[in-house]
Amino acid sequence: MESVLKPMDAEQLRENAHKMVDFIADYYKTIENFPVLSQVQPGYLRELLPDSAPTHPEPLQHIFDDIQAKILPGVTHWQSPNFFGYYPSNSSIAGFLGEMMSAGLNVVGFSWITSPAATELEMIVLDWFGKMLKLPEEFLSAGKGGGVIQGSASEAVLVVLLAARDKILRRVGKNSLEKLVLYASDQTHSALQKACQIGGIHPENCRLLRTDSSTDYALSPNVLNEAISDDVTSGLIPFFLCATVGTTSSTAVDPLLELGKIAKSNEMWFHVDAAYAGSACICPEYRHYIDGVEEADSFNTNAHKWFLTNFDCSVLWIKDRNALIQALSTNPEFLKNKASQANLVVDYKDWQIPLGRRFRSLKLWMVMRLYGLENLQSYIRNHINLAKHFEELVAQDPRFEIVTPRLFSLVCFRLLPPHNDETCATKLNHGLLDAVNSTGKIFASHTVLSGKYLLRLAVGAPLTEERHVNAAWKLLQDEASALLATL
């Protein structure tokens, strides 16, 4: 019986955790050997694993063997230095250590009394982060606002939309829900539309305003003003504006200051979604991209994208915490306690959708302490410089076109069709993307802007170096040559 793994035994934990760390460290040493994009077919794993759980315990080594042979082939390796798809999703040693500590303590910190340190560390660390970004003091915990860690930017925009909805309905009457109108650009993340569905905002009242190349796909204040004026004339009630700093398609940046003033003059909630690009604003030379954030009611960035903090850790700041609490608070008898009843503490259960929450601030705290601000800035600058290098390579090849100005660490480009034949451009670039991704050597993704099918190369994996960017470009050139030769 001594060899049986107990639910919790300190020495067994020590022995097995060492083996797990060794396995993960070996994975990172060999990560470049794996195809970046998983090459398996749908349903592959059901053919490899039993159809029921084991009756008797199995050795850890057998599980490692199965991970190596059966699980890793079905993994798309987001931390590979050759991963250039979607957006960064950083891991780091500091993030791992914080995650281990969080798992080890395994607190469920929904209210202050359930683990005071979990609440208070989160408040402190998000104040640190807010100061790195030079956010207005109203977003810090000393005043009426503060920060909270959500699971994702989707959760962040949902909770502030609910707060904004309830705030306006208290003013105009709860029967006015069908008149509420929300505004954003057509480049805004689809999470906003899902938030509308959940929050009961009528789909026809979700105004995703058209953008184009004339504004580099940023939301035009003139277009917004016109839409609001038309809606007010029709008897509708503008209540929410979402601006983006770093859109998913092209990292476009909406003009926060102008949009914020429009929101204020129309008594609308103004939310800024900086999920991808917000982290870059800890660098003084990029801070101007969030100028105007002082007009916002809420601001969100994902530390789990480009801040070396492994998923999930989406950071939301709000100027008026009571707006969240009024929309999301419940207070059943079994959760009542002296500190909460006396309003002496923050209970984060009232700032989010679920009751339960993990001790996520530990990993953010460790990232900030083990790397420090200067190293975090250098990390982001390095990715931006690598993206600039890739952009220069693309610009030198007349067969390719850079379609939008590079912002941050994303380059949007395409292979030009022969004889400027736009009818075959989509097919050509779709074929190029499939060709490079099917090699397993890199993974890139795509978008469509103004009807043009574009390839996206986002630099942001923690292990990416210039040699990986050069190799990605050579692969793209080689596959482009092979594809053009068939035309």
242 and 315 in one domain? yes
Residues 426-459 pLDDT 10s: 999 999 999 999 999 999 999 999 889 999 999 9
Average pLDDT over every residue of 330-356: 81
Question: Any idea which of 100-104, 178-182, 350-354, 427-431 has the lowest mean pLDDT?
Answer: 350-354
pLDDT band at 263 (very low <50, low <70, confident <90, very high): very high
pLDDT at 420: 76
Rg (CA), the chain: 24
Question: What's the token pair of residue 139?
Answer: 């977003």
Express each pLDDT in 161-219 by its tens digit: 999 999 999 999 989 999 999 999 999 998 899 999 999 999 999 999 999 999 999 99
**pLDDT of 330 above 90:** no
Shared domain for 261 and 357, answered yes or no, is yes
Nearest to 189 by CA among 251, 272, 247: 247
Do 136 and 202 reside in the same domain of the chain? yes
Q: Is the pLDDT of residue 2 over 80?
A: no
Query: What is the predicted pLDDT for the residue at 1?
Result: 41
Residue 52 neighbours by CB under 8 Å, 6+ apart:
none
Check whether residue 431 and residue 451 sit in a common domain. yes
Residue 91 domain flag: no
- CATH of residue 159's domain is 3.40.640.10
* Residue 282 pLDDT: 97
Helix or strand holding residue 184 (H, E):
strand 180-185
Q: Is residue 175 part of a domain?
A: yes
DSSP annotation of 8: S
Q: Residue 360 falls within a domain, yes or no?
A: yes
CA distance 385 to 368: 22
CATH number (domain holding residue 401):
3.90.1150.10
- Same domain for 367 and 419? no
The residues near 230 (Cβ < 8 Å, ≥ 6 apart) are none
Q: What is the mean pLDDT of the chain?
A: 93
Q: Is the domain of 381 the same as that of 365?
A: no
Q: 286 with 406, same domain? A: no
With a cut of 70, say whether residue 324 has pLDDT above it: yes
CA 436 to chain centre: 25
Helices (H), 114-250: 116-132, 153-172, 191-199, 221-233
Last residue of a domain, one of 371, 399, 421: 371
* Residues 155, 137 within the same domain: yes
Torsion angles phi and psi, residue 422, rounded to 5: -70, -20
Let me know if residue 61 belongs to a domain. Answer: yes
Instruction: Assign 419 a pLDDT band (cuts: 50, 70, 90).
Output: confident
List 467's β-bridge partners, or say none: none
Q: How many domains does the chain have?
A: 3
Q: Do 352 and 445 fall within a single domain?
A: no
Q: Domain check: are 51 and 138 in the same one?
A: no
pLDDT at position 351 is 86
Q: Give a yes or no: residue 96 inside a domain.
A: no
- Asked, for residue 423, whether it belongs to a domain, the answer is yes
Q: Which domain holds residue 429?
A: 374-485
240 burial level (CB within 10 Å; 0-12, 13-18, 19+): buried
Residue 363 lies in a domain: yes
Q: 400 and 344 in one domain? A: no
* Three-class SS state of 81: coil
pLDDT at 67: 96
Q: What is the mean pLDDT of residues 412-438?
A: 90
Residue 109's pLDDT is what?
Answer: 80
Q: Tell me which long-range contacts 405-409 makes (C-beta under 8 A, separation of at least 24).
A: 405/216, 407/246, 407/250, 407/251, 407/252, 407/253, 407/277, 408/246, 408/251, 408/276, 408/277, 408/280, 408/286, 408/384, 409/88, 409/306, 409/380, 409/383, 409/384, 409/458, 409/459, 409/460
Q: What pLDDT is stored for residue 206 in this prediction?
A: 95
If you average pLDDT over residues 140-163, what whole number do you get? 94
What is the percent of the chain with per-residue pLDDT over 90, rounded to a whole number?
79
Domain-located, residue 4: no
For the beta carbon of residue 448, count every other beta carbon within 10 angstroms.
10
Residue 55: what are its φ and ψ, rounded to 5°? -80, -35
One domain, residues 437 and 309: no
Query: What pLDDT score does 412 carry?
Result: 95
Q: Quick check: 319 pLDDT over 70?
A: yes
Which region among 16-25, 332-341, 344-353, 406-415 has the lowest average model confidence (pLDDT)? 332-341
CATH at residue 25:
1.20.1340.10
